[in-house]
Every structure is written in C-alpha cells, then in structure tokens.
Amino acid sequence: MAWERAYINLVKEEILPMVLAQNLTLSFSSESSIKDELNRESTADAITIVISYIVMFAYISFTLGDRPSRLWALFVSSKVLLGLSGVVLVMLSVLGSMGFFSAVGVKSTLIIMEVIPFLVLAVGVDNMCILVHAVKRQPDGIVLEERISNALVEVGPSITLASLAEVLAFSVSAINPMPATRAFSMFAAMAVLLDFVLQVTAFVALIVYDFRRAEDGRIDCVPCARLKSSTVAGDNGGHQRLHFVARYMKDVHGPILGYRPVKFIVIAVFVGLAFASIAMSTRLQPGLEQKIVLPRDSYLQGYFDDLEKYMKVGPPLYFVVKNFNYSSASENTNQICSINQCNSNSLLNEIARQSLSPETSYIAKPAASWLDDFLIWMSPEAFGCCRKFVNGNYCPPDDQPPCCQLDQDSGSCSSNGACNNCTTCFLHSDLHNGRPSTTQFREKLPWFLDALPSSDCSKGGKGAYSTSLDHSGYENGIIQASAFRTYHTPLNKQTDYVNSLRAARDFSSQMSKDLQMEIFPYSVFHIFFEQYLSVWKTAIMNICVCLGAVFVVCFVVTSSLWASAIILIVLAMIVLDLMGVMAVLGIQLNAISIVNLVMSIGIAVEFCVHITHAFMIGIGDRENRVRQALSTMGASVFSGITLTKLVGVIVLRFAKSEVFVVYYFQMYLALVLIGFLHGLIFLPVVLSLCGPPQKTMKRIEQSQTPPSNEQT
C-alpha cells in the first residue's frame, strides 16, 4: 500500500508534468487507487452532508416557531432549542441503532452512514411538526397538560401507525440476500423504532417545557432570561405563516380538488403516469458505473475514459471443471479436449464455436487447454517433448540444459551430447486409441507441468499452466479442479459486464447438463457483478415485502381494509413513478438505488398515513373530511416533509462526487416531489371519491371544543 501511494505521488508530481510538457497524455492507476479515491470522496462530501443537515435544522427551527408581529416577541416564540432537541433525538436514534448492531457484529457501510440519518430525519421532522402543530391547534383556555393529551389523542394514532409500518417494512426487508440492502434495512428499522419511542416520550416532555417557557416569556435558547410581559402580551400574529398554509389547504387547495372535472383530470394524469412509469422502468439497466462513485476531479476519471476508448482486450475468462476423471475407464478426457478423437461436442470445441459469435457469447477466442497440450506433449509424434533418460527420469528437449551448454554471453545453448541416449516416453503401441492409461497420465502430468517450453518443444506446461490445476489428490484418478482460459470481448459498459457474466453462466450450465460434469465460469469481475444477475428480483422482492408489511400494519391499526388498500395503491404508484424517473434520468439499478427505493416507501408512508387518518376521524361527508385533513395534517406534512427535504436535498446538488448528485440529489428530489404530489393531490382526490367511512373516536370533553383559527 505504501509503495502504491508513493508510485501515485511520483506519477502525479514528476512524471505527469513531463508527459504533459511533450503534449502527450498519461493515464495511470494502481490496485489501491479506487479504494483511496473512494475514501477521499467520502471525506470531501462529508462537509456537503453536514451543510445539508444544518440547513434542514434551520428550517425545522423556523417552521416549528411562531411568527409574532413584534420583533422582540420573536425571541420568545421561536423554537430553535426545541428544534435542536428534536434533531439531537434523531441523532441519538441513529447512533443507538449503529451501536446496537455494531455490538452484535453487523458492520456499517457508507450507504448506511449517508442514508439512515436522512431517512430518520425525514420521519422525525414530520412527527415533530405534527406534534407541535397539534398542540398549537388546541384551545388556549385549557391547561397545557390537557392540550398535550388532546394533541396525542388527535395525532398519536397516525404517528404510531406510520412508525410501526416503517419499522415492520424495514424489518421484513432484512431477509434480502443483498448485503448492503439487508444491513440498511436492519439499521433503518432500529433507528426508526428508537426515534418513535423518543419522540412520543422525550420530545413530548420537551414540548411541555418549551411551551411553558414561551408562556412565561422566557427567551428561546436562553431560558434563564425573560422579556417583560408587555413585550409579548397580546401578540396574536404568532401563527401567521402556518395559518396561511392551513388556510390555503382548506380554502384554496381543497376546494380546487373538489371540482369534478379537476378530480377526473387528476385521476387520469396520475394513473397515466403510473402506466408510463411501468413501461419506462423496464428500461432500467443494472450496474454502477465506476466513474460515478469517484470524485469528479479524480485522476481515475481519465484512466477509465481511456480504458473504454482504447482498450481492445477483454478480461480473461476461465471455465473451471471440477472432479475431472482422467482414468481410462472414463470418457471425461474426450468430453473436454479438442484434438483428434475428441468428442465433437466437447467443452473446448463448444467454446471455440461460441467464439464465432462474440456479439452474444462475449467470448473472443478459443480456450487455451492444458489437456490438449498435455496429450500432444505425450504423443510419440512430439519426439522432442516427452522424453526420458535410461534411468527413467525426465529428459528435457535438446535446446535446454543439461542437454546443452548455455553460453552466458550470447544466451545460446550448444549441444553437449548429454541427452543423446534419451528416448520418447511412449510408442504408439503403448497408448490405447492415442490416449494414455491412468498410470501413464498420473506419472507424466508432473513432468508436463514442470517442462519449460522452447523451440524444440513449445508445449511445455510450466508457466502457462502451473496454476491451472489443483494437484491435491490427483493420484486417485481425479483432478479436483482445472481451468481452461479464454478471453472476453472488450467490455466497455456495465451492461456488457452483466450480459457477459450471464452468457458465461448460461453456457456453463448447458455444458454441465450435456456432459454430466460440474463446470462453472470465472473472471475477475464476476464477484462484483454477480449481484446484478438477480438485481431485478431483489428489487421487486424488497418493494413487495415492504408494501405488504405496510398494508398489514395499516389494517391491524386502522381495522379498515378499505383505507389500507388505498394507502397501498398510492405507495405502489409513488414507487413506480420513482422508477420511471430513474429510467428517464438514466439512473442504474444497484444496491444504492434499491436502498433508495426501500427508503422511499418509508418516507411515502408519511405522506399518506397522516392524511388518511385525519380523513377517517374527520366529521361530515367525504368532501368536508378531505378539507379538514388537508387543513390539519396537510399543512404539517407540507411543512414537515416536503419543504424540509427540499432545502436539504438542494444542498446535495453541489457535492463533488457524481454519486451524490445522481443517487441522492436526483432520486431524493424526485421522491419528495412525487410523494408531495401523490400525498397532497392524488390521495385527497381518491379519498373524496371512494374514501373509507368516518371512524368514530372517543374524545375527552375538552377536545370537543371547536379549534381556534390558529392552525398547526
């Protein structure tokens, strides 16, 4: 590692300037380059992530507070300390989840460190806004403890429903075989659960303390100081901005959605987008471009560009045969080799045929075969190859020592007569149909693997095939594993790597079936791209499991199959639209995007569950209940999720790494906009047309008091 870093520094500081001075270009890399550049990318974008969270915190503090008409009253009505406390609870939830799973041996990943705080903050901020706004909606004439109690009666069920649905959805997704997605689901489930527990306990207590501070005229963040009562008394503009959002939802947004033509247009547009997204999502390509995960100013960007442009050789491909029976009684030899008397459908003959159609097989040339070369090396016709001294020991070709004298100056080797008595290993009569016996094969294989190739005998196996066989136990007539090397065609795109792996797997599977032998392919990139063979299955399984878990929780908590089905349909449409946007933007399907899709269900639950619950407990017909839901929960969801996420996501646009711009800025922005449109436009229209019946709730007497005009 130290040598590689020194090499990279040398190229950067000395060699590269010399090359550029000659108007030439130089691309370079080392084995540790990708790892080092990824670490630099993580460090470089850490500041961007922190700024994103700071911006979200600033907005949280702004939206939780009041908007007094007097400037001095702002010091009392603001809720910076409460917002900071809520963010601290979110961070404690994330740290608690990481600490728990670290204690039980589950390793964290870069995806977890970047996505989990974002997810929990999205859920936590929404709950914070809903709780605080619900308390503000309570009449001022009752004591604070009863206002808190009434607020929990009003919004507690929907918060519990949303949190439990998310926890169960993430927990069930932990069965996913993809390690990155499985670890994310485990960490996310624990973090959301801890955040829910802290918010319905610690944060509720913090709300009590903060409201008491405000009622006592004490300054936010400096509660030991207080303003004169005349400074803050009689200020009725405290909820002006939130009052405007709620008024808009109730008096403008709701009535517009109530027009029948608007409803049909909304239904037609959203259903059409869903079907279009289904068609577009089939174009999603699996993979993760290496250049995307690297910093934009990385020297590897030019290296991969030149590699794609100028490299015309594909990676080596090995077909490994397990338990090759070389005994005379077995047909395995003829089933593999490609020389005379070998089967026409042998493995090596079929590889040669596959190389004739490289556009589908991704095989560039016939395979190099140690078995073919060994059989030729042993044959009597190759009289310069397999030879023996009179005492039975191996005799090398005449152009190799000790059969010749090596001249150190010229490098030539002159015959010295030491091997004049050497004879070929076998006569034609010693072989059976041109094939060695089991004993002959066993005895001469080590000679072949130690034989150096030369002009007199080019078939020596030393070097070319030294690592092609597993020698252990071969004396019993079975070679446990042996490899036959060919090359892929040039692979320039992620889809080329995936398709070449799939083609090699399919070919090996067919040959294993035809020859009744265990054959599998291997190339250096297979271990990294194997996940993409089943990435669609993994994505669909995770999405379906999460949606199913949300449906079960919704049904158990609400006891309404009707409402649960509506939530399920809207969530499915959000995920489908997000996948359609991915296809339009060219975002590939991989572990990062699957994690984002799973996370999108968790955030989409927040857009849907609160609105649906508020609709179910509303009073009047469907139209009135939709307006009530929008004026209460709609305003909180809009300010708690939509705007909070927007201000945080926009900061990610300035990240140095392309992976943040593509998989976090673009996908998160699409998620927030799609969730907002479905939760606050499509869902209210669906509820107004075919929403579930009103749910009767027992309320305590004070909660029946008509709410004041001060909204959320």
Q: State residue 208's pLDDT score.
A: 93
Q: State residue 359's pLDDT score.
A: 95
Q: Which is nearest to 546 in space by CA: 588, 599, 590?
A: 599
Average pLDDT, whole number, for the chain? 86
- Comparison of pLDDT for 417 and 573, the residue scoring more: 573
Q: Residue 701 above 60 pLDDT?
A: no
Q: What backbone torsions phi and psi does residue 514 show, to the nearest 5 degrees?
A: -70, -40
Q: Residue 236 above 50 pLDDT?
A: no
Which has the minimum average pLDDT: 131-145, 223-237, 322-336? 223-237
Which has the minimum average pLDDT: 75-79, 213-217, 354-358, 484-488? 75-79
- Comparison of pLDDT for 142 and 319, the residue scoring more: 319
Q: State residue 311's pLDDT score.
A: 82
Q: State residue 72's pLDDT score.
A: 65
Q: Residue 142 above 90 pLDDT?
A: no
Q: Residue 594 above 50 pLDDT?
A: yes
Q: What is the mean pLDDT of residues 108-124?
A: 74
Q: Residue 470 above 60 pLDDT?
A: yes
CA angle 668, 670, 675 (to 5 degrees): 95
> What share of the chain has pLDDT > 90, as a percent?
47
Q: What is the mean pLDDT of residues 303-321?
A: 90
Distances (CA, A) of 710 to 133, 182, 240, 350, 707: 9, 45, 8, 79, 8
Q: State residue 67's pLDDT score.
A: 64
Residue 62 CA to residue 59 CA, distance in Å, equals: 5
Q: State residue 239's pLDDT score.
A: 43
Pairing assessment for the beta strands 222-226 and 218-219 based on DSSP bridges: antiparallel
Structure tokens at 74: 């702002």
**Own/partner pairs, 544-547, CB within 8 angstroms, 24+ separation:** 545/169, 545/172, 545/173, 545/175, 546/169, 546/170, 546/172, 546/173, 546/598, 546/601, 546/602, 547/169, 547/571, 547/572, 547/575, 547/601
Please answer whether residues 530 and 642 qualify as being in contact, where contact means their C-beta atoms are separated by less than 8 angstroms.
no
Tens digit of pLDDT for each residue in 655-679? Answer: 777 887 888 889 989 999 999 999 9
Q: Residue 712 above 90 pLDDT?
A: no
Q: Residue 113 above 80 pLDDT?
A: no
Q: Residue 176 above 90 pLDDT?
A: no
Q: Which is nearest to 132 in space by CA: 210, 20, 73, 71?
A: 210
Burial, 65: exposed, middle or buried (Cβ in 10 Å; 0-12, 13-18, 19+)?
Answer: buried
Q: State residue 482's pLDDT score.
A: 96
Encoded amino acid at 592, one letter: I
Which has the minimum average pLDDT: 289-298, 397-406, 433-442, 680-689? 289-298
Q: Residue 709 above 50 pLDDT?
A: no
Q: State residue 172's pLDDT score.
A: 79
Q: Which of 108-122, 175-189, 564-578 has the highest mean pLDDT?
A: 564-578
Q: Residue 561 above 70 pLDDT?
A: yes
Q: State residue 227's pLDDT score.
A: 74
Residue 450 CA to residue 541 CA, distance in Å, equals: 52
Which has the minimum average pLDDT: 430-444, 498-512, 648-662? 648-662
Q: How is domain 32-294+533-704 classified at the CATH fold level?
A: Multidrug efflux transporter AcrB transmembrane fold (1.20.1640)
- Comparison of pLDDT for 60 and 16, the residue scoring more: 16
Tens digit of pLDDT for each residue in 392-428? Answer: 999 999 888 889 887 776 667 777 888 989 999 999 8
Residue 47 CA to residue 559 CA, distance in Å, equals: 46
Residue 495 CA to residue 287 CA, distance in Å, equals: 7
Please answer whether residues 385 and 457 qualify as being in contact, where contact means their C-beta atoms are separated by less than 8 angstroms.
yes
Q: Residue 704 above 60 pLDDT?
A: no
Q: Which of 124-128, 452-456, 535-539, 680-684 has the highest mean pLDDT?
A: 680-684
Which has the minimum average pLDDT: 37-51, 313-327, 666-680? 37-51
3-class DSSP assignment, residue 100? helix
Confidence of residue 654 (pLDDT cuts 50, 70, 90): confident
Q: What is the mean pLDDT of residues 328-334?
A: 92
Residue 621 CA to residue 348 CA, distance in Å, equals: 75
Confidence of residue 283 (pLDDT cuts 50, 70, 90): very high
Q: pTM of the predicted model, to two decimals?
A: 0.81
Residue for token pair 């004041």:
708
Please answer whether residues 438 and 326 qualify as being in contact, where contact means their C-beta atoms are separated by less than 8 angstroms.
yes
Residue 53 CA to residue 556 CA, distance in Å, equals: 35
Domain range list for the chain = 1-29, 32-294+533-704, 316-367+464-523, 369-461
Distances (CA, A) of 197 to 79, 168, 430: 22, 15, 83
Q: Residue 237 above 80 pLDDT?
A: no
Q: State residue 294's pLDDT score.
A: 80
